[in-house]
Structure 1
Amino acid sequence: MARTEYYDDPEAPVPNSLVVAASAAVVDDEGRLLLQRRVDNGLWAMPGGGMEMTESLPQAAVREVREETGYEVEVTGVVGTYTDARHVIAYSDGEVRRQFNVCFRARVVGGERRVSDESHEVRWFSPEEVVGLRMHHTQRLRVDHALGQSAPHAG
């Protein structure tokens, strides 16, 4: 399913759903960040997705990392909350969502790297390598916060 992200765009479609989501900034002992190149838009992003009715947000982050990258992680903190109403995501099935995302800090405790049906690639990047990657600017904001600030972002 294709995905198009809009930000502060008067031509963006009107949202028809609100999704509670979690993402994870997984950083290894060398300070590298785990990212995936998404199948639905070809851009790099942290693993993440919608919370299921039977789980907490931290559990959703752990599940999404496992499903999308193959790694088992534990949550160690919070990067921030991301709720900007100007960010709209449209899917080819007709869903147009606003997303309430909590981005967590996490570390690997097991598993091994693999791609999924949601990712073309899964790789570790140094902070310097992240700078040149193609990603939506709302994702770049989360990455910058994960790599550069210690206090959680509230937004």
Structure 2
Amino acid sequence: MTDVPRRRDYYDDPAAPAATSLRPAASAIVPGPNGEILLHRRADNGLWALPGGLMELGESLADTVRREVREETGLDVEPGYVIGVYSDPLHVFAYPDGEVRQEFSVCVACTVTGGSLAISPESTDLRFFVPGEIGALPIHPRILTRITDYLTGQRAALC
């Protein structure tokens, strides 16, 4: 990981730059065998996050979830159900190239079907956490919202 983040996350921050783009993305809750949740530490901002990323042309949402989880964690998953659609305009990501993207992510609960854990170039760490440990991590509040929604049994929330 470099010393300078390549992405900056803002949430409900009056100093945040105005969004310039909106791109569909997916994130995944990947549970472990004892109720743990898989997180990776992002190389671009140093925060712990759910695996996920941008949808590509020609993909379904389920395809995006499978591809992103595989790329970022080494695991194969089967998407199960939508936990929520997260599109809060107060959450923006600023990139060094000037793009400022508004949050738009569909979070999906998954089941592991194969593969083995492997850190990707997008991550500096990868591990399963019991839910009680997650709040103490350096993690964005909007990722915590997705995890909380999953843990409380939320399905198809619009946030």
Under TM normalisation by the shorter chain, which class is it?
over 0.9
Tell me if 1:76 matches 2:60.
no
Output the TM-score relative to the length of structure 2.
0.93
Aligned to 1:56: 60
Match of 2:15 in 1: 11
**1:154 alignment partner in structure 2:** 158
Where does residue 41 of structure 1 map in the other structure? 45
The DSSP-based 3-state class of the residue aligned with 2:103 is strand
Match of 1:2 among 3, 6, 13: 6
The letter of the residue matching 1:9 is D
Displacement after TM superposition at 1:75 (Å): 0.4
Query: Which digits, 9 at most, give the CA deviation of each residue in 1:10-54, with x for residues without a partner?
Result: 211111111100000011221110100000111100001110001
The amino acid of 2:29's aligned partner reads A
Count how many residue pairs are aligned between Structure 1 and Structure 2. 155
2:124: which partner in 1? Answer: 120
More strand by share: 1
Equivalence map 1:135-150=2 (5 Å): 135-150=139-154
Q: Distance in 1 between the 2:41 and 2:153 partners?
A: 24
Q: Identity of aligned pairs, percent?
A: 48
Partner SS, residue 17 of structure 2: coil
Q: CA deviation at 1:57?
A: 1.2
Letter in 2 for 1:7: Y
Distance in 2, Cα, partners of 1:148 & 1:90: 31
Q: Give the CA deviation at 1:123.
A: 0.2
CA distance in 2, matches of 1:143, 1:92: 28
**Which residues of structure 2 form unaligned runs of 5+?**
none
| 1:130 maps onto 2:134 in alignment | yes
Could you state the TM-score of these two structures normalised by the residue count of structure 1?
A: 0.95
Secondary structure, in 3 states, of the residue corresponding to 1:11? coil
Aligned-pair CA distance for 1:131: 2.4
For 1:131 and 1:13, the matched residues in 2 are separated by 27
User: How far off is 1:152 after superposition?
Assistant: 2.8
The equivalent residue for 2:103 is 99
Q: CA separation in 1, counterparts of 2:31 and 2:121?
A: 23
Q: SS state of the match for residue 23, structure 2?
A: strand
